[in-house]
Amino acid sequence: MNSLRGIILTLVALVVLCGAASAEERLKMSTTTSTQDSGLLKVLLPPFEKKNNCKVDVIAVGTGQALKLGEAGDVDVVFVHARKLEDKFVADGFGVNRKDVMYNDFVIIGPKNDPAGIAKAKTAAEALKLIAARQATFVSRGDKSGTHMKELELWKAAGTDPKGSWYIEAGQGMGPVITMATERRGYTLADRGTYNAFKGQKTDLAIVFQGEKGLFNPYGIIAVNPKKFPHVKYDLAMKFIDYVTGPEGLKIISGYKAHGEPVFFIYKK
C-alpha cells in the first residue's frame, strides 16, 4: 500500500509540473501538413512564442479538415491553401481577416521514364488526360486536402472523371501518398515543398510536369470569427497573423530552405 501511495504522489507531482508548464497562453492553429512537414513551422513559431510568452499548438491535418476545425470553433486560427474554400469559410462568417502569406506550386511527379508521356503536355489538365488515356497508375490524396481539391479541379478542367483500378484514392497525407506512388510506380500531384523534402532518399520519382499557372498554390491565414465563437483567442490570433505576414515572419519564410532549395515564396510588394 505504501508503494501505491508513492505512485499517486509521483502522479500528483507530475501534474503540478505540467500545470506550471502550461501557465502560458496557448494559441490553437489548424494547418495543412505541408507547413509542418516542410519544417517551416519549427523556425517560424519560436520567435513569436518567445515574444508573446505563449505557445502555438499546431494541429496539422488536411486543408479541408483544418477549415472544419475552424468552423467548429475548435481552433483560433487556420493556415491553409485552398483559395476557394478559404473564401467560402470567410463568406460563411467563420473566419475574418484573411491574409495572403506565401505561395509555392504543385508539380506532377512520376516515374523518370514517364510512361504516359505527360512531359510534352501543354497544360496540367492535358497531362492528366494523357494519364487517364494510358490508364497509368495515379495516386490521389482523396482526403479533401488543398492538394486534393486542386487535383479535382484539374480533372474537371481535363473533362475526365477518373475511375478505374489505375486511379488509387489513398485518403492520406502528402507524405504517405508520395511513398505509395513510389512503391506503385505511379504519378501523383504533389506540392513542391513536400516533394523536395522527399526527393533523393525517400523517392526516386521525378518532376515530370511543372510550371503552368494553373498549378499555383497560394497559402492564406485566417482568424476564426470571435463574433461566432466568443471563446477564441482573437487578439493573440491577430498578433500572430500580423507577425506571419509582417517583415519578420516573411523574412523567415522566404529564407527557409529544405535540401538547399527554397520551399515557399512570398508575394513581391
Partner 1 sequence: MDFFSESLKTALELITSRDPDVVSAVTVSVVVSLWSTLFASLAGVPAGVAVAVTEFTGKRAVVTLLNTLMALPTVVVGLFVYSLISRQGPLGGFGILFTPWAMVVGQTLLAIPIVANLTMSAIKGADPRIVPTALTLGAGPFESIRRLVVEMRFGIMAAVIAGFGRVIAEVGVAMMLGGNIRGYTRTMTTAIAMETGKGEFALGLALGLILMTVALMINMALNALQQR
Tell me if 77 sits within 8 A of 240, measured CB to CB. yes
Interaction of residue 43 with partner 1, rule CB under 8 A: no
Report the alpha-carbon distance of residue 48 to residue 248 in Å, rounded.
10
Q: Which of residues 91-130 bind partner 1 (CB under 8 A)?
A: none
Contact with partner 1 (CB under 8 A) among 147, 203, 217, 225: 203
Interaction of residue 229 with partner 1, rule CB under 8 A: yes
How does DSSP classify residue 87?
H
Tell me if 219 sits within 8 A of 40, measured CB to CB. no
Interaction of residue 79 with partner 1, rule CB under 8 A: no
Interaction of residue 146 with partner 1, rule CB under 8 A: no
What's 245-260 look like in SS3? HCHHHHHHHHHCEECC
Residue 224 vs residues 149, 172, 200: alpha-carbon distances, Å: 22, 26, 39
Radius of gyration of the chain (CA): 21
Q: How far is the CB of 197 from partner 1 (least distance, A)?
A: 7
Contact with partner 1 (CB under 8 A) among 138, 198, 219, 234: 198
Contact with partner 1 (CB under 8 A) among 27, 28, 128, 225: 28
Q: Is 236 helix (H, G, I), strand (E, B) or coil?
A: helix
Report the alpha-carbon distance of residue 168 to residue 162 in Å, rounded.
10
Contact with partner 1 (CB under 8 A) among 54, 60, 96, 236: 60
Tell me if 191 sits within 8 A of 106, measured CB to CB. yes
| Cβ nearer to partner 1, comparing 164 with 230 | 230
Interaction of residue 178 with partner 1, rule CB under 8 A: yes
Q: How far is the CB of 158 from partner 1 (least distance, A)?
A: 28
**Per rule CB under 8 A, count of chain residues that contact partner 1:** 33
Interaction of residue 3 with partner 1, rule CB under 8 A: yes
Contact with partner 1 (CB under 8 A) among 64, 162, 171, 175: 175
Q: Counting every residue, how long is the chain?
A: 269
Contact with partner 1 (CB under 8 A) among 16, 43, 47, 57: 57
Cell 487535383, residue?
151
- Of 15-23, 85-93, 154-162, 185-193, the window that binds partner 1 (rule: CB under 8 A) is 15-23
Contact with partner 1 (CB under 8 A) among 156, 202, 251, 259: 202
Q: Extract the runs of DSSP E, i.e. beta strands, from the chain.
A: 25-32, 54-61, 77-80, 95-110, 138-140, 167-169, 187-191, 206-209, 216-224, 257-258, 261-262
Site string for partner 1, 237-256 (x = CB under 8 A): --------------------
Report the alpha-carbon distance of residue 130 to residue 103 in Å, rounded.
27
Q: Which residues pair with 188 in a beta bridge?
A: 109, 139
| Residues in touch with partner 1 (CB under 8 A) | 3, 7-8, 11, 14-15, 18, 22, 26, 28, 33, 37, 55, 57-60, 72-75, 172-173, 175-176, 178-179, 197-198, 202-203, 229, 231
